[in-house]
């Protein structure tokens, strides 16, 4: 048994959620004045020990302490009482009343859905709890069957709403920046998913989903991935099941309005549900049936929904308020989705995470930190998820398409100074090339570019997120948007036949290939090179060639006999040379004589 503070002892875990683990615990001694309920030694309580991530976040601890008065004063017959808050070292814990009974999620799973009347009466009590908390300015923001405990005492089942304030605690700027968010895709209101400002209307939406699930056994919007579920919340109208009584459907439909301003208040909801419960029973009086059919009149939009307080530390409206959107982390790995409705710990949202592949819920304001007005989703504007995914895709495209200036590329420069290394040696280095992320000037003519050898395909592989995010992240790859939302770009160079596999099989470097196209330019690499003698060398070579060729012809052909000199090649050459010299001498003398003659007497 582990002590929590000096007053409590943890006995056994009751369950684990996304934000922490709930323990059955025992009070060791009476709590001090700071506790809402002093308690008695030996009394059993439930203690939710918040996850280390939350407990280690200074913002959460601050908020925990700041909001302790709100949490401790929240008392209602249908709200699980928070008795004490414990902060001890790196431990944050909420001490609650222990509720003897299952939660609604477990109950439905084991017993099936409720009758419409029972569902109405149960949800009416939850709406009572919401009305009380909203009147106190507290919005739950994570309403779902798992957060409703069924207190089974004296043969009665009383729903008890729990986990108040947990979403608020998790709304830490620190967590928003670098960690995770809390929430449940199946119950998330459209405005939360979009990062719009939230009000108590998010709880009404959650109550509508819960009511639907109590009657049918499943939430109205399901899907294989969290993203799919969110998309359905945003774009799909819920369908009335054939067995759903019409007045009850009227209530659900009003709660599930996409526009929060069109949803009723918790108080109206509670009243309407009781009217419906009275009017849809088999023994309902005609007047009750009539009243139930006219229940729409009771469901006027809430004129003054309680706002979710903006986090003063947050600059971006909406970013702090997004309850959550995508599941990841310990509760549900990125890209997986728990259709059972466990609260998901979510990836960072908001404007601070500019590099995130995952969608921001900051909406338009997230892109504009100076925005004063809250972000409003335009009907025609792309969905924030689409925008973010597109941005991620474009980032990838830019990286892939970026041209690398050869002068900046050490792998390309090196071959210009020395014999080019064979292609296979270059490719394994490719993924380590940082220059691929640099901005480079537009491509200059580079006739000896060896793209197939330097391999852009490996660049592409190297920039794949470490699968990924979560991911994400990660996303990334975990967060596969529906195919129509995101198509991986296919730049042409990635289509080129990749030479990579073959070189990898060659164990040793190859000697320089003479057929290398750069060969003519690598004269400096030739040890026979004599600077400035390029042309003369060719002439000398031709003279030598002429002499050797002439010698062979003279000696090996009948030419000697035809000429009739009988001399050997060298003698003949000597004679010819002497003849040429004599001829030139005579020519000089003749010219000289002629010149004096011309200068003589006329």
List all residues 6 or more positions away from 497 whose beta carbon is below 8 Å from its beta carbon. 452
Interface with ligand ATP, residue 292, by CB under 6 A: no
Q: Cβ 474 to ligand ATP, closest distance in Å?
A: 20
Separation between Cα atoms, residue 342 and residue 545, nearest integer Å: 91
Strands 20-27, 44-50: pairing is antiparallel
Does position 573 interact with ligand ATP (CB under 6 A)? The reply is no
| C-alpha dist (Å) from residue 183 to 50, 96, 171, 201, 484 | 15, 21, 11, 16, 26
Alpha carbon distance 79, 433 (integer Å): 58
Task: Answer yes or no whether residue 99 interacts with ligand ATP by CB under 6 A.
Answer: yes
Among 4, 7, 8, 22, binds ligand ATP (CB under 6 A): 22
By the rule CB under 6 A, 59 interacts with ligand ATP: no
The smaller minimum CB distance to ligand ATP, of residues 116 and 327, is found at: 327
What SS3 class is residue 429?
A: helix
Binding mask 134-173 for ligand ATP (x = CB under 6 A): --------x---xx-x------------xx----------
Residue 4 interacts with ligand ATP (CB under 6 A): yes or no: no
Part of the chain binding ligand ATP (CB under 6 A), chosen from 18-26, 250-258, 423-431, 533-541 = 18-26
Distance CA 233, CA 256 (A): 9
Q: How far is the CB of 103 from ligand ATP (least distance, A)?
A: 4
Query: What DSSP designation does 471 have?
Result: B
How far is the C-alpha of 308 from the C-alpha of 463, rounded, in Å? Answer: 40
Point out which span in 13-21, 60-68, 263-271, 273-281 binds ligand ATP (CB under 6 A).
Answer: 13-21
Contact region with ligand ATP (CB under 6 A), list: 15-23, 268-276, 536-544, 568-576? 15-23
Contact 46, 96 (CB under 8 A): yes
- Cβ of 517: how many Cβ atoms within 10 Å? 11
Question: How far is it, in rounded angstroms, from Cα 427 to Cα 453?
Answer: 7
132 near ligand ATP, judged by CB under 6 A: no
5, 17, 384, 423: residue in contact with ligand ATP (rule CB under 6 A) = 17
- Dihedral sign, Cα of residue 504, residue 507, residue 509, residue 510: negative
CB of 48 to ligand ATP, least distance (A): 6
Among 9, 10, 14, 222, binds ligand ATP (CB under 6 A): 14
> CA 535, CA 53: separation in Å to the nearest integer?
77
> 150 pairs with which residues across the strands?
159
| Burial annotation 112-131 (CB, 10 A radius, 16+ → b, else e) | ebbebbebbbbbbbbbbbbb
The region of 4-12, 14-22, 406-414, 594-602 touching ligand ATP under the rule CB under 6 A is: 14-22
| Residue with Cβ nearer ligand ATP (162 or 427) | 162
Catalytic status, residue 142: yes
326 contacts ligand ATP (rule: CB under 6 A) = no
Q: At its nearest, how many Å lie between ligand ATP and the CB of residue 368? A: 33
Choosing from 5, 8, 18, 164, the residue that interacts with ligand ATP (CB under 6 A) is 18
Q: Is 314 in the site for ligand ATP (CB under 6 A)?
A: no
Of 473, 455, 454, which Cα lies nearest the Cα of 464?
A: 473
Size of the site for ligand ATP (CB under 6 A): 24
302 forms part of the interface with ligand ATP (CB under 6 A): no
Nearer to ligand ATP, 123 or 324 (CB): 324
Catalytic residue among 142, 151, 171, 302: 142
> Phi and psi for 389 in degrees, rounded to 5?
-65, -35
Nearer to ligand ATP, 51 or 412 (CB): 51
Residues with Cβ within 8 Å of 139's Cβ and at least 6 positions away in sequence, in order, are 133, 198, 199, 200, 202, 203, 306, 308
State the residues that interact with ligand ATP by CB under 6 A: 14-15, 17-20, 22, 46, 48, 80, 96-99, 103, 142, 146-147, 149, 162-163, 331, 342-343
Residues with a catalytic annotation lie at: 142
């Amino acid at each position: 048994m582990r002590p929590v503070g000096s007053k409590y002892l943890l006995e056994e875990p009751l369950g684990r959620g996304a934000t922490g683990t709930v323990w059955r615990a025992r009070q060791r001694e009476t709590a001090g004045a700071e506790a809402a309920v002093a308690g008695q030694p030996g009394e059993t309580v439930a203690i939710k020990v918040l996850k280390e991530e939350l407990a280690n976040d200074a913002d959460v601890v601050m908020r925990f302490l700041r909001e302790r008065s709100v949490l401790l004063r929240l008392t209602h017959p249908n709200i699980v009482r928070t008795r004490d808050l414990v902060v001890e070292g790196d431990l944050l814990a909420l001490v609650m009343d222990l509720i003897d009974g299952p939660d609604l999620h477990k109950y439905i799973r084991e017993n099936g859905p409720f009758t419409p009347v029972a569902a109405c009466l149960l949800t009416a009590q939850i709406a009572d709890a919401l009305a009380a908390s909203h009147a106190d300015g507290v919005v739950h923001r994570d309403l779902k069957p798992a957060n409703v405990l069924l207190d089974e005492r004296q043969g009665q089942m009383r729903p008890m709403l729990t986990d108040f304030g947990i979403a608020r605690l998790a709304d830490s700027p620190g967590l928003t920046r670098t960690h995770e968010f809390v929430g449940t895709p199946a119950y998330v209101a459209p405005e939360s998913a979009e990062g719009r400002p939230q009000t108590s209307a998010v709880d009404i939406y959650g109550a509508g989903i819960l009511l639907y699930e109590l009657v049918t056994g499943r939430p109205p919007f399901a899907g294989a991935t969290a993203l799919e579920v969110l998309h359905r919340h945003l774009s799909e109208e819920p369908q009335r099941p054939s067995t759903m009584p019409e007045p009850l459907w009227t209530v659900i439909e009003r709660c599930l309005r996409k526009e929060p301003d069109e949803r009723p208040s918790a108080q109206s909801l509670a009243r309407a549900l009781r009217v419906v419960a009275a009017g849809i029973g088999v023994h309902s009086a005609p007047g009750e049936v009539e009243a139930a059919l006219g229940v729409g009149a009771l469901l006027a939009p809430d004129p003054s929904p309680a706002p979710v307080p903006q986090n003063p530390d947050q600059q971006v409206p909406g970013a702090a308020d997004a309850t959550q959107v995508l599941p990841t982390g310990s509760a549900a790995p990125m890209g997986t989705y728990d259709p059972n409705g466990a609260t998901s710990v979510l990836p960072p949202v908001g404007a601070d995470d500019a590099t995130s592949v995952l969608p921001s819920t900051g909406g338009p304001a997230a892109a504009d930190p100076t925005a004063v007005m809250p972000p409003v989703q335009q009907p025609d504007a792309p969905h924030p998820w689409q925008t973010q995914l597109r941005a991620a895709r474009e980032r990838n495209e830019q990286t892939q398409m970026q041209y690398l200036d050869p002068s900046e590329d050490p792998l390309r420069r090196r071959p210009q100074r020395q014999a080019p290394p064979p292609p296979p040696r270059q490719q394994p280095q490719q993924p380590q090339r940082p220059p691929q992320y640099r901005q480079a000037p537009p491509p200059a003519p580079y006739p000896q570019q060896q793209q197939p050898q330097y391999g852009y395909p490996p660049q592409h592989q190297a920039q794949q997120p470490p699968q990924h995010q979560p991911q994400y992240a990660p996303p990334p790859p975990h967060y596969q948007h529906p195919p129509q939302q995101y198509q991986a770009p296919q730049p042409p160079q990635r289509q080129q036949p990749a030479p990579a596999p073959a070189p990898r099989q060659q164990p040793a470097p190859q000697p320089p290939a003479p057929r290398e196209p750069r060969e003519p330019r690598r004269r400096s690499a030739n040890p026979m090179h004599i600077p400035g003698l390029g042309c003369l060398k060719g002439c000398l070579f031709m003279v030598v060639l002429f002499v050797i060729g002439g010698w062979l012809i003279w000696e090996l052909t009948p030419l000697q006999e035809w000429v009739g000199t009988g001399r050997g090649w060298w003698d003949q050459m000597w004679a010819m040379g002497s003849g040429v010299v004599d001829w030139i001498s005579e020519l000089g003398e003749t010219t000289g004589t002629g010149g004096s003659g011309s200068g003589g007497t006329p």
